[in-house]
Amino acid sequence: MFNLRTVLFAFVLLALLLLAGRYLKHQIRLFQRLYLPASIIAGALALLLGPQVLGAIATALGGENTLLAGGLFSEDIRAVWSQAPGVFISIVFAALFLGETIPPPREIWRKAAPQVVFGQTLAWGQYVVGILATLLILGPLFGANPIAACLIEIAFEGGHGTAGGMADTLNELGYADGADLAVGLATVGIVSGIVLGTALADWGRRKGYVDSVNRRVIEPEEIPDLNVMAETPEIRQHRARLLRNLLVDPLSINFGIVGLAIAIGWLLLEGLKWVESVTWGQTGFVIMPFVPLFPLALIGGIITQSILNRLGLGSLVIRSMVQNIAGVALDVVVIAAIASISLRVIGGNLGVFLTLSILGILWNVLMFLWLAPRIFSSYWFEKGIGDMGQSMGVTATGILLLRMVDPDNSTGAFESFAYKQLFFEPIVGGGLFTAAAPALVINWGLVPVLLLTGGLLIFWLAMGYLLIRQDRQTPTTTPV
């Protein structure tokens, strides 16, 4: 057990590591060219200064009783870090749609149908590829745990946040190694996504697939909000009237709103657990006890925003402030998750790790090259590369690649990408199915889950085929 003072110093150290990561990024050109977030650099620095690298070197040189045998960080500090991702990821997901303008589903589908189909195809295909790899390669050759089939989607679509947030679930399901492998795969995904995405962008320009040939270097800090509806002066005036008589700092109000979203998510989760316990759970088939809080916190955020809008209090949510709260939480998740990786586990599962990495990368790149030109009737490269980037790292990676090929948003790809998230995030990429998939594998087995995910993959491919036919049958008009 650790006390509150230990928790304080654990997060002070995280803040110092983040500053060091930012400094290293500023000084080292390679980190800038790879567009690596400072949090990933900080996490890698914490890993190097911990017992597995610095501590191992000190032990080899001076014995187990040497001063740095445990690295620079005490065991209590590392214990706090190991628990942080599963807690702070709920803040990230709760804030995801707070302050967003959510159009009716029909309007979203009209504007972003091909983008939704492409994104869903990539996500469900990652499950299919992972399950087939586990059945045919990982299980027979390496004796891998069946849950390894879910790691590509958890790590690539979900990113570091989801990978770190799923650690407790994977431990409870008896696959402790899965947490380390997932965080390692997330790192592979984001680096390979940026490197390959940049190379594909250059290739696309040479081939003439990119309509916008101008390239401006985009820093991650410049990545815009996914909210496609900008805040209006009327919203700011209404907020000022609401805050005039409230002696509360706006940051405190928005932090409280995020807390309300998490609380609603917790109530939803507990309610689902109760429903399961009095229905199908009595047969011994249970899923909800293994579902973490964060996907329900996302739904709690949507509900909270809807309630505030109905009460005329929606303008209290300051989107940029909520993003800052989520950004701090995500930095904590990423640094703590990488710092807590067990290199021994990755080394002991190197065959599984490399197989999943290679197959995940191949699936995303090949689907971008094959499906995107067919499903997008215009600007296929710009619209497709954003989804490819997201499916290999995080949403910011997708936007980064999109901005490389369309810096002025002349193609409208950014709006389609933004609208797609509303059909995407609550289900996969850290949504409900991502959280439930490991438990489904344990309860149902790999083949039934393969049939389910394969069926959904076929469904989305069929939707894509229908969209292609509909587009070809629609007469085109020449703009005046």
Q: For residue 260, tell me if it sits in a domain.
A: no
Q: For residue 278, tell me if it sits in a domain.
A: no
353, two tokens: 């790790």
Range of the domain at 58: 1-73
Question: Given a cut of 50, is residue 441 above it in pLDDT?
Answer: yes
- In angstroms, rounded to a whole number, what is the distance separating the alpha carbons of residues 84 and 339? 11
Nearest to 458 by CA among 117, 134, 113, 115: 117
Nearest to 13 by CA among 88, 77, 65, 60: 77
pLDDT tens, 406-433?
777 777 777 777 777 777 777 888 788 9
Q: For residue 106, tell me if it sits in a domain.
A: yes
Backbone CA torsion sign across 194, 99, 39, 331: negative
Count structural domains, the chain: 2
Give 77-146 as a DSSP string: HHHHHHHHHHHHHHHHHHTSSTT-----HHHHHHHHHHHHHHHHHHHHHHHHHHHHHIIIIIHHHH---G
Q: How many residues does the chain have?
A: 480
DSSP designation for 157: I
User: Are 97 and 183 in the same domain?
Assistant: yes
Quote the pLDDT of residue 472: 65
Residue after which a domain boundary falls, among 16, 48, 73: 73
Kindly give, in sequence order, each residue whose CB lies less than 8 Å from that of residue 32, ignoring residues fewer than 6 positions away: 25, 26
- In angstroms, rounded to a whole number, what is the distance separating the alpha carbons of residues 162 and 401? 21
Q: Is 29 helix (H, G, I), strand (E, B) or coil?
A: helix
- In angstroms, rounded to a whole number, what is the distance separating the alpha carbons of residues 438 and 121? 20
- In angstroms, rounded to a whole number, what is the distance separating the alpha carbons of residues 277 and 13? 42
Residue after which a domain boundary falls, among 73, 107, 122: 73
Nearest to 336 by CA among 480, 163, 181: 163
User: Are 403 and 336 in the same domain?
Assistant: yes
φ, ψ of residue 394 in degrees (nearest 5): -140, 170
**pTM reported for the whole predicted model:** 0.81
User: Are 69 and 101 in the same domain?
Assistant: no
DSSP designation for 409: -
Q: Write down the mean pLDDT value for the chain.
A: 84
pLDDT tens, 214-262?
444 444 444 444 444 456 676 767 667 767 766 678 888 899 999 999 9
User: Are 69 and 94 in the same domain?
Assistant: no
User: Are 68 and 149 in the same domain?
Assistant: no
Quote the pLDDT of residue 239: 67
Nearest to 173 by CA among 315, 289, 331, 23: 289
As a whole number, mean pLDDT of residues 47-54 equals 89
229, two tokens: 């509806």
Confidence of residue 123 (pLDDT cuts 50, 70, 90): very high
- In angstroms, rounded to a whole number, what is the distance separating the alpha carbons of residues 52 and 47? 7
Indicate the range of 62-66, 145-149, 234-238, 411-415 predicted with least confidence. 234-238
Indicate the range of 102-116, 263-277, 330-344 predicted with least confidence. 102-116
Candidate ranges 35-39, 169-173, 377-381, 453-457; pick with highest mean pLDDT: 453-457
Quote the pLDDT of residue 250: 84
Residue after which a domain boundary falls, among 27, 45, 73: 73
Confidence of residue 185 (pLDDT cuts 50, 70, 90): very high
User: Are 120 and 66 in the same domain?
Assistant: no
Q: What residue has token string 């940029």?
A: 320
User: Are 133 and 42 in the same domain?
Assistant: no
User: Are 12 and 135 in the same domain?
Assistant: no
How do the residues of the chain divide into helix, strand and coil, expressed in percent and rounded to 5? 75, 0, 25
Q: For residue 316, tell me if it sits in a domain.
A: yes
Candidate ranges 209-223, 344-358, 459-473; pick with highest mean pLDDT: 344-358
Q: For residue 348, tell me if it sits in a domain.
A: yes
Q: For residue 257, tell me if it sits in a domain.
A: no
- In angstroms, rounded to a whole number, what is the distance separating the alpha carbons of residues 13 and 4? 14
Indicate the range of 151-160, 169-178, 406-415 predicted with least confidence. 406-415
Quote the pLDDT of residue 477: 45
Quote the pLDDT of residue 245: 67
Q: For residue 78, tell me if it sits in a domain.
A: no
Quote the pLDDT of residue 378: 82
User: Are 18 and 108 in the same domain?
Assistant: no
User: Are 369 and 469 in the same domain?
Assistant: yes
User: Are 423 and 346 in the same domain?
Assistant: yes
Q: For residue 204, tell me if it sits in a domain.
A: yes
Question: Given a cut of 70, is residue 1 above it in pLDDT?
Answer: no
User: Are 95 and 67 in the same domain?
Assistant: no
Kindly give, in sequence order, each residue whose CB lies less than 8 Å from that of residue 342, ignoring residues fewer than 6 positions away: 52, 177, 180
